[in-house]
Amino acid sequence: MKVLIVGKKIAGSSSFLSFKAFQEISINVQILCSNGYSSESLINRIFNKFCDTPEYWGTKNFNEAIIKKTKEFMPDFILFFKPILISPSTITELKKYTKVFSWYPDYIPFHKTASVDFFNSIPLYDCHFSFNFANVEELKNKGAKLSFFLPCAADPDYHKPVGVSDQERKELGADVVFVGTYAKEKRSEYLERLCQDGYNIKIYGDGWENHPKSSCLWQKNYIQSKSFYGEGMSKVLDASKITLAFVREHNKETLACRTYEIPAAGGFMLHQRTAKTGEALEEDKEGVFFSTYEEMKEKIDLYLKNENLRKEIIKNGRERVLKEDLFIHRVQRIIEVFNGLK
């Protein structure tokens, strides 16, 4: 079997970790990196700022490169990661040679993260996979032939316990830590309230400069203004007692990449409860969940006092993810669907 991935070739990205997973199960896989083929011009950015659904210009070379690569490599299928730069005519041409799949991370009705080309191409793909459960029916309603829920995953080499020195524990850790981007949702609201209630917190991630500078989190220097991935993130989790995990509510997320990455990396995860969290991890055995601020605070108080309970849940959660929720498991599912198309 031969597989062509089209996506970002960046360490830790879903496209790269999927590429690695295909290699690990002895699939002949190549990746065509989307970086460098096109960049959004200033005029294009201004245009898209005022459009409900973006249109991207200057993607001809990228589309031609995909067709050229496909003719040379002749894969059994192409797996596109968030193919918002791919034109319908390109998908039509590719289908002369191979099967064409997409794996989409965002909420389909949130048009600003998609593109006109992607929406016009939905019926042309042989199958769509989505991180987001809500997308399954949304894609079918837009003409998708096949649509499956396939959430994010972890990688055992990239998301793993690494240990920390006493100095790193002091510099990186806190009683409660959050590693993720800013959003004006429960994550920023609840973390701000925890700060006001006197908890020891550290926040790592992008976009937190948008949180009000008069806030408790800024006043107490809890916002670290830096991001960590891979080994760096694992050290933050190890240095801290409790790691909070939130979903993006505006994106209708039910499970996030962190849902799997935190347990795999050996962190104790307190995760916002959704309709799918109980399917991913057994509650209070493999992961701990909350629905309200009061429930979150109550569970923080409980688990800060119970190191043995934390260790047991860390052990169980990591075992569950390693058994069922690695990128190897996800690409095996994609191959299974491909084999069913024959």
The pLDDT of residue 53 is 93
User: 258 with 208, same domain?
Assistant: yes
Per-residue pLDDT of the chain (342 residues), as tens digits, is 999 999 988 888 999 999 999 999 999 999 998 877 777 788 988 988 898 999 999 899 999 999 999 999 999 999 999 999 999 999 999 999 999 999 999 999 988 889 999 999 999 999 999 999 999 999 999 999 999 999 999 999 999 999 999 999 999 999 999 999 999 999 999 999 999 999 999 999 999 999 999 999 999 999 998 999 999 999 999 999 999 999 998 888 999 999 999 999 999 999 999 999 999 999 999 999 999 999 999 999 999 999 999 999 999 999 999 999 999 999 999 999 999 997
In a domain, 81, yes or no: yes
User: 308 with 336, same domain?
Assistant: no
User: 202 with 303, same domain?
Assistant: yes
CATH of residue 83's domain is 3.40.50.2000
Domain count of the fold of the chain: 2
In a domain, 30, yes or no: yes
User: 187 with 312, same domain?
Assistant: yes
Token pair of 158 as six digits = 């990239």
User: 297 with 229, same domain?
Assistant: yes
The pLDDT of residue 299 is 98
User: 188 with 293, same domain?
Assistant: yes
User: 193 with 239, same domain?
Assistant: yes
In a domain, 158, yes or no: no
pTM confidence score: 0.94
User: 141 with 220, same domain?
Assistant: no
Q: Which residues on adjacent β-strands are paired with residue 177?
A: 202, 243
In a domain, 27, yes or no: yes
In a domain, 159, yes or no: no
User: 7 with 149, same domain?
Assistant: yes
Token pair of 206 as six digits = 């992008």
In a domain, 54, yes or no: yes
In a domain, 160, yes or no: no
Structural domain range at position 304: 166-324
In a domain, 161, yes or no: no
User: 51 with 126, same domain?
Assistant: yes
* Beta carbons of 176 and 197 less than 8 angstroms apart: no
User: 183 with 91, same domain?
Assistant: no
User: 185 with 266, same domain?
Assistant: yes
Question: What is the rounded CA–CA span in Å between residue 24 and residue 17?
Answer: 10
Question: What is the rounded CA–CA span in Å between residue 340 and residue 342?
Answer: 6
Question: What is the rounded CA–CA span in Å between residue 239 and residue 170?
Answer: 7
Question: What is the rounded CA–CA span in Å between residue 258 and residue 241?
Answer: 16
